[in-house]
Amino acid sequence: MMPALVSIITPAYNAAPFVGDAIRSVQGQDYAAWEMLIVDDGSLDATARVVAGFAAADPRVKLIRQDNSGPAMARQRALDSANGRFIAFLDSDDYWLPGKLSKQLPYMVRGGSALCYTAFRRINQDGSELGHRIDVPERLDYQSLLGNTAIATSTAVVDIEKTGPLRMRRVYYDDFVLWLELTKRGFVARGLNEDLMRYRVRDKSVSRNKFNSAKQVWHTYRALEQLSFPHAGWCFARYAFNGWRKYRRF
């Protein structure tokens, strides 16, 4: 049997210094049945030119261009063009370690998982500093995910043969909202506790604004998930504690 195709979803905005590392990390996988759909989201730098160079040499790398619409709509644009059974997410400033797909996909299939995530480490912007290993729990259902920060987007893989097509919502934490939607439907997210991704901490990234991030998490609980005030408060306290525990040191 032919190996199942993996569609890799990569939104890119002003990512020229980093997107090459992301692409090379995919090309270096020992699992070769993939397509990488990179959506240039109206970048003002050379992102599209860098990606086009890789695409010219490797037809599995596909450049899609659109006016600036934000990461959720860039991800959706890639999803609309995806052909794979497995949907893997990789942000343009992150990269995978060798063997990521060949380890994660069999783990998913053996466990019948619809959503899977892995451990990872952070790096600083220029890649010169390596952070501590961030381990992940073995499983997350909807209630446990509400208070947890365990699923890093660039580690996540979804089996759409089980879930059906994915739709991103145009919200601040579109990835977190997607994981909540899937687990709310009864799919249990499974964690492979192996270090298989590098998360790049950029100085001006959206997630660096902790106050705004906290506001958006609260908005997710109250407006999108429609949790009661006490339930939202309990989930927020757990979310904040788990985030502090994970990021209290680099």
Report pLDDT for 1.
60
- Phi, psi dihedrals of residue 200, rounded to the nearest 5°: -85, 125
CB under 8 Å to 150, separation ≥6 — which residues? 117, 136, 137, 140, 191, 242
What average pLDDT does the segment 164-188 reach?
A: 97
- Answer yes or no: is 62 within a domain: yes
- Answer yes or no: is 245 within a domain: no
SS (H, E, C) the chain: CCCCCEEEEEEECCCCCCHHHHHHHHHCCCCCCEEEEEEEECCCCCHHHHHHHHHHHCCCEEEEEECCCCHHHHHHHHHHHCCCCEEEECCCCCEECCCHHHHHHHHHHHHCCCEEEEEEEEECCCCCCEEEEECCCCEECHHHHHCCCCCCHHHCEEEHHHHCCCCCCCCCCHHHHHHHHHHHCCCCEEEEEEEEEEEECCCCCHHHCHHHHHHHHHHHHHHHCCCCHHHHHHHHHHHHHHHHHHHCCC
- Answer yes or no: is 209 within a domain: no
- Answer yes or no: is 225 within a domain: no
- Domain that residue 51 falls in: 6-203
- Answer yes or no: is 132 within a domain: yes
- Answer yes or no: is 233 within a domain: no
- Among residues 90, 41, 86, the alpha carbon closest in space to that of 61 is found at 90
The string of pLDDT tens digits covering residues 106-144 is 999 999 999 999 999 999 999 999 999 999 999 999 999
Whole-angstrom distance, CA of residue 82 vs CA of residue 60: 12
Residue type, 209: N
What average pLDDT does the segment 14-35 reach?
A: 98
How much is the mean pLDDT over the chain? 95
Q: What tokens appear for 171 in the block?
A: 């919200």
Looking at the 3D structure of the chain, how many domains does it have?
1
The string of pLDDT tens digits covering residues 90-109 is 999 999 999 999 999 999 99
Task: Note the pTM of the prediction, 2 decimals.
Answer: 0.95
Report pLDDT for 206.
45
Q: What is the CATH number of the domain that holds 23?
A: 3.90.550.10
Report pLDDT for 205.
52
- Among residues 226, 155, 219, 153, the alpha carbon closest in space to that of 184 is found at 226
- Answer yes or no: is 118 within a domain: yes
Whole-angstrom distance, CA of residue 158 vs CA of residue 21: 23
SS (H, E, C) 40-75: EECCCCCHHHHHHHHHHHCCCEEEEEECCCCHHHHH
Q: What distance, in Å, lies between the first and last C-alpha atoms of the chain?
A: 43
The string of pLDDT tens digits covering residues 134-158 is 999 999 999 999 999 999 999 999 9
Report pLDDT for 248.
86
The string of pLDDT tens digits covering residues 43-79 is 999 999 999 999 999 999 999 999 999 999 999 999 9
- Answer yes or no: is 36 within a domain: yes
